[in-house]
């Protein structure tokens, strides 16, 4: 399956402003890119890239006062399969965790593990450890928290989501991540593209949030908002919470004036590639 992903974002800047952008497909998916994946700007600017402490690719530039447009489109090869599910995946004892994973057990800006530890214990201590426990956390958050764009605010934390029981996708994930960490399961926040492949079409496309839990010595995808395996996730960035994976960070005022996201299957190219592969197979000599 081929998925076209892209964005077209504009800001109005009152003055010259330094900006960081985390808009590239995650380096772990680099081999799946069939086209160049570079942040483009209008007007054209001198940009540079670096990798942050979580392995995300970050674009850095200084924009002049006025309108600045960030845009790009690229093609990603995807398996076409839903998120992998492994009910037998086991929890890793904290003493055996890799050092680089330990940070995903701790408090962070939006995930107050200390404030929600007793709640998590009351809710999930009797759940079977491992995959079942993470899934129970997803089930609880999915059932108890209502989705509403109107309830979004940049300062909302996991504790706020727990007490208010309403929020957007990032709030669902922050609460689930916090509960996992409180139960000694490393969990990290993830952001990227998630279209409506395999599900009824929704409203305007947007970037999405989900989370990953560390079980059986690897990271697994979970989504407390949708709470069902989905097709076509394209990861962009991971971190402790949303503060580590902001799409853009401006060091000065930046007023958003346009925001467009596209993530959809390119059926024509997929079908063409499939037909070509079939023809190639039919014409190939048979080894005897």
| pLDDT at residue 70 in the model | 98
Same domain, 52 and 73: yes
Residue-level pLDDT at 269:
62
Q: What 3-state DSSP class applies to 118?
A: helix
Residue 66 lies in a domain: yes
Examine residue 11 and state whether it is found in any structural domain, yes or no.
Answer: yes
Q: Is the peptide bond preceding residue 43 cis, with omega within 30 degrees of 0?
A: yes
Domain-located, residue 283: no
**How many domains does the chain divide into?**
2
185 in any annotated domain: yes
Instruction: Tell me, yes or no, whether 124 lies in a domain.
Output: yes
- For residue 43, the enclosing domain spans 2-79+247-268
Pick the closest to residue 168 from 189, 146, 187 (CA basis): 146
Give the CATH number for residue 192.
Answer: 3.10.620.30
Other CB atoms within 10 Å distance of the CB of residue 16: 11
Distance CA 99, CA 114 (A): 21
Residues in contact with 216: Cβ distance below 8 Å, sequence separation at least 6, in sequence order: 86, 89, 90, 92
**Is 68 a member of any domain?**
yes
Q: Which residues of the chain have pLDDT under 70?
A: 202-203, 268-288
Residue 161's pLDDT is what? 98
The predicted pLDDT at position 199 comes to 86
Residues ≥6 apart with Cβ < 8 Å to 163: none
Query: pLDDT for 154-202, tens place per residue?
Result: 999 999 999 999 999 999 999 999 999 999 999 999 999 999 888 887 6
Same domain for 114 and 239, yes or no, is yes
In this structure, are 26 and 139 located in the same domain? no
CATH of the domain at 50: 2.60.40.2250
Domain assignment present for 275? no
SS3 call for 8: strand
Q: How do residues 232-264 score in pLDDT, each as one tens digit?
A: 999 999 999 999 999 999 999 999 999 999 999
Tell whether 39 and 147 lie within a shared domain: no
If asked whether residues 70 and 130 sit together in one domain, one would say no
Report which of 134, 140, 228, 223 is spatially closest to residue 183, judged by C-alpha positions.
Answer: 134
Contact call for residues 69 and 6 (beta carbons, < 8 A): no
pLDDT of the residue at 88: 98
Residues 240-278 as b/e (b if ≥16 CB within 10 A, e otherwise) read bbbebbebbebeeebeeeeeebebbbbeeebeeeeeeee
Return the pLDDT at 146.
98
> Do 207 and 158 lie in a common domain?
yes
In a domain, 230, yes or no: yes
Q: What is the DSSP letter of 225?
A: T
Q: Calculate the CA dihedral of residues 135, 222, 266, 207 and round it to 10 degrees.
A: 130
pTM: 0.91
Q: What integer pLDDT is reported at residue 206 of this predicted model?
A: 84
């Amino acid at each position: 399956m081929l998925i076209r992903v892209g964005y077209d974002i504009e800001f109005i800047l009152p003055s010259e402003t330094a900006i960081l952008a985390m808009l590239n497909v995650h380096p772990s998916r680099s081999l799946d890119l069939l086209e160049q994946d570079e942040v483009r700007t209008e007007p054209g600017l001198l940009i540079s890239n670096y990798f942050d402490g979580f392995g995300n690719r970050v674009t850095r530039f200084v924009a002049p006062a006025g309108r600045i447009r960030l845009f790009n489109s690229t093609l990603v090869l995807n398996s076409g399969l839903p998120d992998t599910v492994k009910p037998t995946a086991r929890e890793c004892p904290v003493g055996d965790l890799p050092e680089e994973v330990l940070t995903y057990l701790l408090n962070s800006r939006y995930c107050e593990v200390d404030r929600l530890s007793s709640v998590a214990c009351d809710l999930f201590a009797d759940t079977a450890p491992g995959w079942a426990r993470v899934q129970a956390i997803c089930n609880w958050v999915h059932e108890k928290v209502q989705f509403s764009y109107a309830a979004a605010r940049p300062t909302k934390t996991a504790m706020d989501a727990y007490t208010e029981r309403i929020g957007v996708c990032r709030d669902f994930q922050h609460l689930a991540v916090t509960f996992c960490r409180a139960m000694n399961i490393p969990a990290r926040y993830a952001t990227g593209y998630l279209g409506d492949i395999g599900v009824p079409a929704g409203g305007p496309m947007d970037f999405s949030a989900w989370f990953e839990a560390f079980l059986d010595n690897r990271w697994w995808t979970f989504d407390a908002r949708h709470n069902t395996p989905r097709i076509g996730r394209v990861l962009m960035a991971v971190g402790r919470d949303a503060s580590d994976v902001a799409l853009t960070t401006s060091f000065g005022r930046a007023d958003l004036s346009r925001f467009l996201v596209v993530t959809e299957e390119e059926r024509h190219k997929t079908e063409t590639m499939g037909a070509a592969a079939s023809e190639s197979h039919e014409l190939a000599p048979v080894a005897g």
